Chain A
Amino acid sequence: MASNAAVPFWRTAGMTYITYSNICANLVRNCLKEPYKTEALSREKVHFSISKWTNGKPEKPTIRSDSSEE
């Protein structure tokens, strides 16, 4: 089954489905009215520290700390 069908725009832009759905979710959150909006946005903060290892050697860990996906 050759996929000749047009790949959705976000896939060609390099995003995965997860990134796409996170952006959509953030758009929906931004549609909320005021008290709920700040609550929802503060609930969805992201923080972790990721370090890639090559050949048994760690590289410098980068901290992914965005308030939420942009």
Chain B
Amino acid sequence: MQDVGLKAKNLSVFYGEKQAVKDISLDFNARQVTALIGPSGCGKSTFLRSLNRMNDLIPGAKITGEVWIGDQNILSPRTDVVLLRQKIGMVWQRPNPFHKSIYENIAFGPRYHGIRDKKKLDEIVEQSLRKAALWEETKDRLHKSALALSGGQQQRLCIARSIAVRPDIILMDEPASALDPVSTAKIEELIAELKQEYCIIIVTHNMHQAARVSDRTAFFLMGELVEFDQTDKMFTNPANQQTSDYISGRFG
């Protein structure tokens, strides 16, 4: 179950007339972190949002191509997006905890997927918080409002919340860009921890972060995939001149 990766084939996304993602094919492996980097507006977030069909929510967005998880093409109209999103967790740039208690934030997903047993839920809440390295800080106030947590804690809560539904894949859209350096370091540690179990795809603006946390990196520019390689190689010896320019900070 944990060997699930994800393959995108000839994926294009249009917003009305404008093509935001141009014919991109990318493979993502289980138990690896793949970073998507590139300047603003290069289509990396749009690409990420296509992988769990979040773009469905945007009026006028159109996706073509295929995204395979195992033997299922999730872009097919027959896919039940609700079931799909249980397999793919997502974390946003700005933490978005629900206006509920810490406990209820975590129990939200599992409860709706049929787990009613209080003991089982308690267990899931504890496990998820432990995995997100938040248990020690919150175990005494599980039933207090999640909005009282700091930004970094809220972000880890959001990660815990997506772990609680036992996904195979976790999508992260600049998960640390709204956080201070200490919280950022904690999130990065957490990503390194989580990749032992999950396929993680992370969009980041921060090239140092990409270099620190990811195994492989994809560089996007103007909706196109410029280069995709092992992170080590990409950052030391990029094959493409544009990649080299971007990584060395000549534009971006």
Whether A associates with B in a native complex is: no
Binding site for A on B (CB under 8 A): none
